Amino acid sequence: MIGITSYGAYIPRLRLSRKVIAQNMAWYAPEILAASKGERSVANWDEDALSMAVAASYDCLAGRDKKAVDAVYLASTTLPFVDRLNADVLATAVNTREERVTCADFTGSLKSGTTALMAAVDALKGGKSSVLVAASEMRRTKAATTVEMYYGDGAAALHLGTDGVIAELTGTYSLNCDFVDHYRGTGKDIDYRWEERWVRDEGYGKIIPKAIAEFVAAAGVKISEYSKVIYPCYFGATHAGIAKRLGLAPEQVQDPMHAVCGDTGSAHALLMLIAALEEAKPGDKLLLASFGQGSDVLSFQVTEQISSLKKPLGVRGSLANRVEMTNYQKFIKFKDLIISDMGIRGEPNPNTSLTTLWRNRKKFLGLVGTRCTKCGTPQYSFTPVCVNPECKAAHQMEEYEFADKLGRVLMYTGDMLAPSVDPPAVYGIVSFDDGGRLLADFTDCDLNAITVGLPVQMSFRRRRKDEVRGFSVYFWKAVPQVQG
C-alpha cells in the first residue's frame, strides 16, 4: 500500500485584511474594492519559500525517523535559488542523512506541488521507502492589484511511504496544456498576468472540471463516491460553478480557504488536502485536483491509521496562530516594494564564505550541536571540549539536534541602532530545557511581550539576503511563545 503517512503545514501568523489594502490603495485602483472580503496570509520579512517549506516539513516529520527519509522533493515557483538545489538545503535543515538520498526541485508551474507528489509515488514504486514532499510559495505582486488581494503565503508537507499509511493512493491522472494565465520570464520578479475573465472562464472553469471528469471516466468511478473533492480556485463564483458542472453536492466541496489565507500557489492544493485530512474519517474517499498549465488529479482513500496519527499543527493549528497586520506600509516593505535606507550600519555586504558554509552545513542549516558522551551535556559551540566544568572531556562528542528542542529566554534586548527591516532588532540568549545555550535573533514577536523565562521554539529563517550576489543566508531564530 502506497500513500500519505503524515502531513504538516505552515501558514505565517501575520494576516492582512483585504480591506486594509483597499483602504490604502483604492484611490488609485478602485476595482480592488470588489475583492476586499476576507484576509490573506503574509510571510514575515525574514521568511521565504524555502524557510516556510522547512517549517511545514518539521511539522510533518515530528516524532518520525528523519534519517529514514530517502527522497526529498520541493515544489515552488518562487524558490530563492535558480542554480542551487533548494531541496538539498531543505534536507540539510531537517537533518536527513546525506547518503542514498534523492533531492529534487519541482518548479515552473503552480501544479508543481501535485507533480512532485506523483513523482514521490513513482519513487516509492521504484524502491524508495520514505519520501518527503514539500510545496511552498511566497509570490510578490505589484501594489494595488487584485492578485495582491488574492495571493497568500504558505507551505505544505506530506510524508509518503508504505507503512502506517493514513490515506492510500488509489489513482492518478494528468492533463497537460500550455494555457498561459500568467507567466514570469527569466530575470523578472513579478508575474505578468492576462485578463481575469480569460483566467476564470477558459482556465479554472474548463481545465479543472475536464481533468476531473476524464479521471472519473478512466478510473470507472462515480464522483458521488468522494467525501471531498478538492481543487484550488480563488474566484468564488467560478469555484462554485466547477462544483455545479461536476454535479457535486455542497458537502462534497472542500473550502478553498480564500477567505482565511488566500491562494498559496503550488502549495495550495496540498494545503486544501491537509485540511480535508484533518476532518476525514476512515473509509472517506478524497479527490484532489491542481491547476497550472493543466491539472494533476489524485485519488485517495482514508485508512484506519488516521485514527492513531499524532496530530501535527497542520492547517488548523497554523490558521489559529494568527496575528492581525494593520500596517499596509509594513506589508509592502516586507514584500520589497519600498526602497528604504538601512543606514550606515546596514551598508556592509560581506561575501558569504561557501567553504565555511560547507564545513559547518549541519551546524548552520540543521542547528546541529554536540553532546558529551561522557556526561551527557549538550552544547552549541565549535569547541571539542565539554562546557560542563565538572567534566571538561575532550573529543568525546556526538551530534545533537537543537532545532526541535524547546528553550526559554535567558536574557534579551531590543536594539534600535542595528539595521533591521522591522526595528527594533531583538536578540538574546536562549537556554534550552534539556541543556545548551545559544545567542540568537528573535522573530515573530513584540519586544514589549518578551520576558525572561518565556518559552521559545526555534525557526529556520533567512538571516540575510546578499542583493549584490543573489545569495540568501539562512540560520535559526527564536520565536517566543507569548501566551494569549
- Sort residue 164 into left (φ over 0), alpha (ψ -120 to 50) or beta: left
Which contacts qualify for 85-90: CB closer than 8 Å, 24 or more apart? Answer: 86/49, 86/50, 89/50, 89/365, 89/474, 90/50, 90/53, 90/54, 90/57, 90/134
Q: What is the pLDDT of residue 483?
A: 64
Pick the CATH number of 3-334 from 1.10.287.1080, 3.60.15.10, 3.40.47.10, 3.30.420.10: 3.40.47.10
> Which residues are CB-neighbours of 345 under 8 A, at least 6 positions away?
417, 418, 419
Residue 51 C-beta-side C-alpha neighbours within 13 Å:
23
Q: What is the pLDDT of residue 350?
A: 79
Q: What's CA 168's distance to the chain center, in Å?
A: 23
d(CA 233, CA 222): 23
Which sequence spans correspond to the domains of the chain?
3-334, 403-484
d(CA 74, CA 49): 10
Beta bridge partners of residue 155, listed in sequence order: 10, 136
Q: Any idea what the Cα angle at residue 212 is, between residues 208 and 218, rounded to 5°?
A: 145
Q: Are 23 and 186 in contact (CB under 8 A)?
A: no
Instruction: Give the DSSP H or E segment for 88.
Output: helix 86-93
Nearest of 291, 3, 75 to residue 175 by alpha carbon: 291
Task: Measure the N-to-C terminal CA separation of the chain; round to a whole number of Å.
Answer: 43
Fold exhibited by the domain 403-484: OB fold (Dihydrolipoamide Acetyltransferase, E2P) (2.40.50)
Torsion of CA 218, 219, 222, 228, to 10 degrees: -110
Q: What is the pLDDT of residue 211?
A: 98
Q: Are 304 and 310 in contact (CB under 8 A)?
A: no
pLDDT by position in tens, the chain (length 484): 999 999 999 999 999 999 999 999 999 999 999 999 999 999 999 999 999 999 999 999 999 999 999 999 999 999 999 999 999 999 999 999 999 999 999 999 999 999 999 999 999 999 999 999 999 999 999 999 999 999 999 999 999 999 999 999 999 999 999 999 999 999 899 999 999 999 999 999 999 999 999 999 999 999 999 999 999 999 999 999 999 999 999 999 999 999 999 999 999 999 999 999 999 999 999 999 999 999 999 999 999 999 999 999 999 999 999 999 999 999 999 999 888 777 777 777 778 889 999 999 999 999 999 999 999 999 998 889 999 999 999 999 999 999 999 999 999 999 998 888 999 999 999 999 999 999 999 999 999 999 999 999 999 999 988 888 889 999 999 999 876 5
Residue with cell 542551487: 84
To the question of pTM greater than 0.75 for the whole model, the response is yes
Instruction: Give the DSSP H or E segment for 412.
Output: strand 407-415
Q: What is the DSSP letter of 442?
A: B
> Which residues are CB-neighbours of 178 under 8 A, at least 6 positions away?
293
